[in-house]
Structure 1
Amino acid sequence: MSEPISTAPESLRTNEAKGAHTASWQRLGILYARVALGSAFLSPVADRFGLWGNHASWGNFVNFTRYVAQVNSFMPAFTIPFLAWAATAAETTLGILLVLGIWPRKVALGSATLLFLFGTAMTISFGIKKPLDYSVFSASAGALLLSLFEVRKSPLNS
């Protein structure tokens, strides 16, 4: 009994189908990473302004500013309010842009940088365990990977 011989066009179609399937998963993964990272920025911003109610970590901006002082214990006290507002502005902007898919590569790179700086500040003030426990560096690495993808216009990312 002879094996069927695969024709070039048939194997080419199979490879094209696999490529299309992989591209679909890649687009879905990029969308998932963008929305997850964007939400991870926006949720704590909502917490700072009391929008999470009883489920809050800080519940208000004063408590958040105290936390910023702890994370940045190596910084002069007069810089803390600026750092709290700068972090809030950066997280709000990056979060919205990630969720909406605007300038995805640049925004992802900015997100990776912000998370790396946050993880570094946590390490200096609390030791390496805290940023590892809160997955700060893994989120930074995920954002960096996201910045490497060339995003094409499609209904999922426009």
Structure 2
Amino acid sequence: MKNSFKIPQFLLRIALGIGFLTTVSDRLGLLPSGTRNMEWGAWDKFIDYTGTLMPFLDRPAVNVMGGLATFFEASIGILLIIGFKTRYVAIASSVLTLIFALSMTIFLGIKAPINFAVFSTCTGSLLLSTIPVYNWSLDNYKEKSQ
């Protein structure tokens, strides 16, 4: 049974991780200019968007929240790709994206989290947290070396 999860869990980890890192790269302006399907392209545009999800906060607080979200998303992306503490990171990913989904739904309507595939990311992360073995990961390597 464990072997049946090898490739799907690996692909899910990589897809989720790349999704987080691409989003972070977009908001930090790290993607090449003219890249198709960029959402923000610069930090200020991302912070403006973050402000729409947190209209009850002033700009300095929105900057802090945007910075925290970016830090956590980058960390989650990297940790998922390398497969370190995968179960806990997948749970953190699910919680973080659930918060995004709820905020987007409340302040922008249901279409916004659907367009950003936030529900899919949340659910995929939750599913990943239930998989018993994370092959091709630091977790698995550590387990085998003990």
Aligned to 1:44: 23
Runs of 4+ in 1 over 3 A off after TM superposition: none
Query: Is 1:142 aligned with 2:96?
Result: no
TM-score where L is the length of structure 2: 0.85
For structure 1, the residue ranges without an aligned partner over 5 or more in a row are: 1-18
Rounded to whole Å, the distance in 1 between the matches of 2:46 and 2:116 is 17
> Is the contact made by 2:47 and 2:66 (CA closer than 8 Å) also made in structure 1?
yes
Report how many residues are paired: 134
| Equivalent position SS for 1:54 | coil
Q: CA deviation at 1:133?
A: 2.7
RMSD: 1.5
Rounded to whole Å, the distance in 2 between the matches of 1:99 and 1:142 is 14
State the structure with bigger RCO (CA 8 A, min sep 6), 1 or 2.
Answer: 2
Larger radius of gyration: 1
> Is the contact made by 1:104 and 1:151 (CA closer than 8 Å) also made in structure 2?
no
Letter in 2 for 1:27: K
Letter in 1 for 2:28: F
Q: Percent identity?
A: 34
User: Deviation per CA, 1:35-86, whole angstroms, max 9, x where unpaired?
Assistant: 111111100111122111222321111111111111223x322421111101
For structure 2, the residue ranges without an aligned partner over 5 or more in a row are: 139-146
Aligned to 2:144: none
